Amino acid sequence: MKVNNMTSNKIKSHHKRKEGIPFDANLFKDITINRSAVERRAATLSGRRSVKKQWQAAWLLKALSCIDLTTLAGDDTKSNVHRLCAKAQSPVRYDLLKAMEMEDADITVAAVCVYHNLISDAVEALGDSNIPIAAVSTGFPAGNIPLKEKIKQIELSVAAGATEIDIVVSRNLVLQSDWKGLYEEVAACRKACGEAHMKTILATGEIPTYSKVAKASWVSMMAGSDFIKTSTGKESINATIPVSLVMIRAIREYHELTGYKVGFKPAGGISKAKQALNWLILIKEELGDEWLNPELFRFGASSLLGDIERQLEHYVTGRYSASFRHPMA
């Protein structure tokens, strides 16, 4: 029952930082997105690809290695974070890994994501595991605070031990098409991050058109974002395949123009293994195998890990277990 190892390129050290490029509205001002064409393309993904048996198990292990294991609840405590970090270091039961001959693959999630006040608890729990700690910042989730306060939050999170920062853009800049203002805000946040990698959250559920999503993606990448991210997970509409396709096409075009590889992170509402497979297929078809690793692709999720482990147990035993047997579900 051996599963091919697709997780050998899991994150241990980051790619070289993206420096960004000077603001140039001519690169994106004429972008228009055909909504019906995007939605037609997105609708074909789940129907044209079917991954089964050991190949499905391998893809699920790949998905697991790309998870930013997240807890962003109002009742988070030190014990919650310690439990999350323990699961991050051992995301799949040993007996399941052994049955798949993957017990020596050193499989972990890509990162742990918490609020600023819990960074020190994550640092304590993760020790020398090399799993990055991501912190949400800049007035998450609304982002409606002055830029000076956003910068201060980033600096405090980096000082506390965060190696990745998830920032939230000011949606009013996007809605008003103030692209220069958005560039300056994201660039200032990028500078404040220092060596910490920056994921820029566009909150696409609050952006009314795909054309604005594409332009916001371009501006965020030009300003030096290491990743662009769909959502905070707190909007009424979070990550969807169509909006992800728009952002991924922007990443591809930006790479073709500049040579910089920018990562992509869908977040919010991704709780089932089948959904994760659809996103992996989308990345493979649109960006290629180079993006199928934690350096360039992440899931922002909390309950996804539990369902992946449940599907892996079904692969090994032929039976579906109850969800309560997977405590991070």
Q: What is the pLDDT of residue 302?
A: 86
3-state secondary structure of 229: strand
95 part of the active site: no
Average model confidence (pLDDT) across the chain:
92
Task: Confirm if 135 and 119 have CB atoms less than 8 A apart.
Answer: yes
pLDDT of residue 13: 43
The mean pLDDT of 169-180, rounded to a whole number, is: 97
- Better-scored residue on pLDDT, 2 or 256: 256
Predicted TM-score (pTM) of this structure: 0.93
Catalytic residue of the set 68, 166, 226, 307: 166
Let me know if 284 is a catalytic residue. Answer: no
Query: Are the C-beta atoms of 91 and 108 separated by less than 8 Å?
Result: yes
Residue 44 confidence (pLDDT): 86
pLDDT digits (tens, 9 = 90+) for 201-259: 999 999 999 999 999 999 999 999 999 999 999 888 899 999 999 999 999 999 999 99
Length of the chain: 329
As a whole-number percent, the residues of the chain with pLDDT over 70 amount to 92
Please determine, for residue 49, whether its predicted confidence score (pLDDT) is greater than 80. Answer: no
Question: Phi and psi (nearest 5°) for 239?
Answer: -70, 130
Contacts of 252 (CB under 8 A, 6+ apart): 286, 287
Nearest to 64 by CA among 30, 96, 24: 96
Cα-only R_g, the chain: 19
Using an 8 Å Cβ cutoff, are 113 and 70 in contact?
A: yes
265 is known as an active-site residue: yes
Residue 52: pLDDT band (50, 70, 90) is confident
Exactly one of 62, 87, 229, 261 is catalytic; name it. Answer: 229
Strand partners, 227: 199, 263
What is the set of domains in the chain, with CATH numbers? 25-325 (3.20.20.70)
pLDDT the model gives residue 8: 47
